[in-house]
Amino acid sequence: MTVPAHLEFFVDPSRCIGCQACVQACTECDTHRGHSMIHLEAIDRAVSVQTVPVVCMHCEEPTCAEVCPADAIKRSSDGVVHSARKPRCIACGNCVVACPFGVPEIYPEQQLMMKCDMCYDRTSVGKKPMCATVCPSQALFYGTREEIAALRPQSMPTNKFQFGDQTITTRVSVLVPRRAAPAPRVDVTAAMSEQPERRSARLNVLDTRVIADASDPFAAVEV
Amino acid sequence: MAELPVDPLKIIHAFGPHLSEGTRPSRGEPDKLVKTHCCFCGQQCGIQLKVKDNEVVGFEPWEEFPFNRGMLCPKGVKRYLQGSHPDRLLGAIERDPSAPGGFRKVAYDAAIARVASEIDRIQRAHGHGAIGVLGGASLTTEKTYLLGKFARVCLKTPFIDYNGRLCMVSAGAANKKAFGIDRTTSPWADMVGTEVIWVAGSNVAECSPITTNYIWQARELGAKVIVQDPRITPLARTCDLYLPVRPGRDAALFAGVLGVMIEKGWIDRDFIERHTVGFEQVAEYCRAWTPERSSEVSGVPVRAIHQAAELWGTAKTSFLFHARGIEHHSNGVQNSLATINLVLASGRIGKPKCGYGTIVGQANGQGGREHGQKCDQLPGWRDISNPEHRKYIASVWKIEEPDLPGPGVDAYELFRKIERGEIKGLISICFNPKVSLPDNEFITRALNKLEFYTAIDFFLNETAQHADVVLPGSLQEEDEGTVTQVEGRVIKINQAVDPPGDARRDWVIIQDIAQKLGRPHGFTFESPRAIFEELRIASKGGVADYSGITYEKIEQQMGVFWPCYSADPRTGEPLTDHPGTPRLFEPDSYNPVAKGSGPFYFPDGKARFNVAEYRAAIDDASEEYPLFLTTGRVVSQFLSGTQTRRIGPLVKQYPEPRIELHPRLAEKLGITDGAWATCETRRGEITLRAMVVTTIRPDTLFIPYHWSGPKSVNRLTVAAQDPISKIPQYKVCGCRLRPAVAAPEYARVLEAQQ
């Protein structure tokens, strides 16, 4: 049983409402004993309601596996990177430190690294992952590339990320707005004045190859 | 005798709220998956409950149900943990000050006998009207129908009302005045592909999360989104136009926008001419509301008023939603009417991709207001003061029309009657007014005056703590029946498990009381289906006609939109295959009120413009109380928290209420994020931690209302009500704020959820 190649996972942070349905649903999986493998991050609640769900990005060359001294982390042929194997994992935490997305965690009671495995028990039998099924704003979406193109014409998926000198390609894609992204900082007072303030800052986007559209304001933005 | 039997801390110690576990450990393959719906809000998401050994052990998304296609919010995900809960009432209890928790167990039959004898005693001494009944809009339509009938036929009291009084009545009254029918006009699917969506006073992402996907899918395909709210809600974060309205000033904003639309000619003259009456009076009223005046009152900049008028006025298709944000006001009906005026002036109603509606807050917010637990209403959305309507319902109930009581009073007035000693006995179900009604210290004083109070509930909620007898009711998953969700779609709740211990299904308890009173006439139903069959007849010919709906049709069609006829409204010929009415007011539609003269539910078939007057809020911000206090929900809690404050993971998500305020105000007052602050109104004060965020107006405080006792914001809210709908003005009152001198006493003795 493998996850079909044409079914992909997309994360659209602009759609996240911070409700934690994904986090709560993730704890329902029998395999992780009441823990959520999703982190829901508030960017900065003091100045925005923007939140971002963080799932495992399932890297083509997973850093977590590369740094694992016990060879406990495996990527299956369908591109899914799994939690550490219990007999091998020494709970050293190398993966936790190395993962550029901050995904893996050590669970001391089990002496084990566990992370999002794209609900392998569901996706390998043709179902959607639990989080993407319940997400009420579909910030987490699971389906085909054709579906996402039809449903999200204002965004485009990207799966290449630059961290210093390291370029990472992932099985999971992030949807990046084609036009001006929503401001990361919002303030009611800006909407109360007759002369609205300009957006104070913008999200930086990494992959200029994917977003080559000349009209795209991000095209020239430095990382 | 309805004072608390012992110190409330002792009651909490014995009966909770305590927390459920976080998840339920796997016990292998479930015995069955039951397709049903969530027990909480008006979205009524489809869900499958996993059942093992007569226990709900988890859930599985129900992806085929068309409204939510598997999507759920955190409440839906964790709802199943309300079952097998340590706080669950497994039998009847009665007040006993000598018992450690203030209550002792009593045999169910003895409890019913005592309730019946107390009702009988009070009614013999003081008349039938000395007993009041309170219901709720989370009950199935079958239960609300039975409760209305129970009050009128068995107890012969006019005094029944329900917690929908706190929720949908402003919208309902406005719909009645403008359209002659009270329902959202269109299925949500109509939203995707529309050009502009106006969300007025609705924190969609937290209060009706599934609707977010519809709105944002529409936006993805080009719709412009306008959000009107004193807070930047998650939906407002990415909207195209944000209108930061000052609490209580919505009607002034709407008048300004409509004024610009009229001046610029951004209205549909042809539609107004052919399908409406009353436009000229509205236009004249709006002329007085120049953008400058509207801006000055509403706090929304002139430029934004022009932008709103242009976006709304020039679109070809549109949707407008509102919710409690504009409805919870002593001007709530006017605010709702003003939104309808914007819709009617645009002519964009009764067509594909065009719609208008209120987003109901409770599971059965729609159905619960149609079939007779509202004080002025009879089944089928009939009027209890209308002689024809009374005659018909009396014939269905097999009683003489003069024996049917007349209109009662709204839920708050019912408490005023209790406080004045006019109502001496109370039966409540699905309502926790000690937490949910405004100025709730008054509610406590009223409860203390009752001679006899019985509550039907599955947990001992804060109001039920005052009861003489508590009858052990059922959770939603322990019974079957129908509810009508936000779109007007009637759906089926299916039973997953049996009530545990000595708990009973609510309709059984109501009928047991009728039996014991020696008034069994009309209360011998053997199933919810039997109640529904009578409801179908009772609703027949009414505006909310359910007569063509069957449990089977609901299952086959995945819901049936009312009206659904059993007889052709044109000819009276019997119909068995009427599919229901997903979209109201289509140009060629026929309804039994207009009889072909037009699409709206008035004899001339035309919709009504109503002058929607701005009136200042009662107990508005003033020199003495200079800030606006507004209240609402958080996504992880529901209503008064009777269920959600007992579900561990939901409590963990947002444990206790906080006071949201803007950093500009916080700096001025010397309050930092996380510090204790005291908010005070003319009714009282509460001390909570501050949450300093730029996402709220600097002149406004927000406090969510799901908590009880010293954490209940409804200690502060004002009991002012709309003169027509009687909805309380939860969304605005004057307040002041100061840093707290010390941590509050409760922080030492109470857990977060208590």
Same domain as B120, residue B78: no
Instruction: Name the token pair of B696.
Output: 């709220």
Residue B625 reports pLDDT greater than 70: yes
CA distance B462 to chain A (A): 27
CB contact under 8 A, A194 and B301: yes
Please write the tens of the pLDDT for every residue from B19-39. Answer: 999 998 888 899 999 999 999
Confidence of residue B1 (pLDDT cuts 50, 70, 90): low
Q: For the CA atoms of B529, B531, B537, B541, what is the dihedral angle to 10 degrees?
A: -100
Please write the tens of the pLDDT for every residue from B189-209. Answer: 999 999 999 999 999 999 999
DSSP count for chain B of H helices, then E strands: 24, 28
Please write the tens of the pLDDT for every residue from B537-577. Answer: 999 999 999 999 999 999 999 999 999 999 999 999 999 99
Query: Residues of B with CB below 8 A from A128's CB?
Result: 63, 70
Same domain as B377, residue B429: yes
Please write the tens of the pLDDT for every residue from A84-134. Answer: 999 999 999 999 999 999 999 999 999 999 999 999 999 999 999 999 999
Same domain as B182, residue B139: no
User: Which residue range is the domain that position B51 belongs to?
Assistant: 21-82
SS3 call for A6: coil
Please write the tens of the pLDDT for every residue from B472-487. Answer: 999 999 999 999 999 9
Residue A213 reports pLDDT greater than 50: no
Q: Are B558 and B189 in contact (CB under 8 A)?
A: no
Whether B15 is in a domain gets the answer: no
CA B163 from centre of chain: 7
Residue A198 reports pLDDT greater than 50: no
Whether B121 is in a domain gets the answer: yes
Same domain as B347, residue B208: yes
CB contact under 8 A, B209 and A50: no
Is the complex ipTM higher than 0.85? Answer: yes
Return the CATH number at B440.
3.40.50.740
Among A207, A79, A187, which residue's Cα sits nearest to residue B663?
A187
Query: Residues of A with CB below 8 A from B234's CB?
Result: 16-18, 49, 51
Among B203, B246, B219, B216, which residue's Cα sits nearest to residue B359?
B203
SS3 call for B726: coil
Whether B28 is in a domain gets the answer: yes
What domain count does chain B have? 4
Report in angstroms the alpha-carbon separations of B390 from A11, B407, B458.
Answer: 57, 11, 34
Residue A202 reports pLDDT greater than 50: no
Please write the tens of the pLDDT for every residue from B349-405. Answer: 999 999 999 999 999 999 999 999 999 999 999 999 999 999 999 999 999 999 999
User: Which residue range is the domain that position A180 belongs to?
Assistant: 8-192
Same domain as B418, residue B314: no
- Mean residue pLDDT of chain B comes to 97
Residue A181 reports pLDDT greater than 70: no
Tell me whether B192 touches chain A (CB under 8 Å): no
Residue A205 reports pLDDT greater than 80: no
CB contact under 8 A, A192 and B244: yes
Return the CATH number at B712.
2.40.40.20
CA B521 from centre of chain: 31
Confidence of residue B2 (pLDDT cuts 50, 70, 90): confident
Cβ atoms < 10 Å from Cβ of B571: 8
CB contact under 8 A, A188 and B244: yes
CA distance A74 to chain B (A): 26
> E strands within B196-252?
196-200, 224-228, 241-243
Same domain as B429, residue B336: no
Mean pLDDT to the nearest integer, B483-501: 98
CB contact under 8 A, B662 and A15: no
At A150 the pLDDT is 95
Residue A199 reports pLDDT greater than 70: no
Query: Residues of A with CB below 8 A from B63's CB?
Result: 128, 133
Same domain as B240, residue B381: no
Whether A149 is in a domain gets the answer: yes
CB contact under 8 A, B61 and A153: no
SS3 call for B733: strand
At B409 the pLDDT is 98
Cα gap B171→B275, rounded to integer Å: 21
Please write the tens of the pLDDT for every residue from A30-54. Answer: 787 789 999 999 999 999 999 999 9
Domain-terminating residue out of B61, B82, B103:
B82
Whether B434 is in a domain gets the answer: yes
| Closest-approach residue (CA) in chain A for B204 | A17
Whether B54 is in a domain gets the answer: yes
CA distance B218 to chain A (A): 10
Same domain as B161, residue B59: no
Among A123, A37, A39, A117, which residue's Cα sits nearest to residue A83?
A117
Residue B731 reports pLDDT greater than 80: yes
Cα gap B532→B546, rounded to integer Å: 9
CA distance B158 to chain A (A): 42
Instruction: Name the token pair of A64.
Output: 């977590």
Return phi, psi of residue B381, to 5°: 60, 35
Same domain as B208, residue B335: yes
Q: Are B122 and B507 in contact (CB under 8 A)?
A: no
CB contact under 8 A, A49 and B303: no
CA distance B52 to chain A (A): 15
Tell me whether A197 touches chain B (CB under 8 Å): no
Write the DSSP assignment of B514-562 as a string of letters: HHHTT--TT----SHHHHHHHHHHHHTTSSS--TT--HHHHHHHTSEES
Same domain as B392, residue B288: no
Best A188, A189, A192, A200 residue to mutate vs chain B (most B CBs within 10 Å): A188
Q: Which residue did the predictor score with more confidence, A187 or B106?
A: B106
Same domain as B452, residue B347: no
Whether A56 is in a domain gets the answer: yes
CA distance A43 to chain B (A): 13
SS (H, E, C) B7-43: CHHHHHHHHCCCCCCCCCCCCCCCCEEEEEECCCCCC
Mean pLDDT to the nearest integer, B661-683: 98
Whether A197 is in a domain gets the answer: no
Please write the tens of the pLDDT for every residue from A1-16. Answer: 899 999 999 999 999 9
At A182 the pLDDT is 61
Please write the tens of the pLDDT for every residue from B325-345. Answer: 999 999 999 999 999 999 999
CB contact under 8 A, B649 and A24: yes
CB contact under 8 A, A153 and B304: no
Return the CATH number at A121.
3.30.70.20
Whether A198 is in a domain gets the answer: no
Instruction: Name the token pair of B340.
Output: 């309808």
Best B33, B63, B72, B644 residue to mutate vs chain A (most A CBs within 10 Å): B72
Tell me whether B71 touches chain A (CB under 8 Å): yes
DSSP B150: I
End-to-end CA distance of chain B: 24
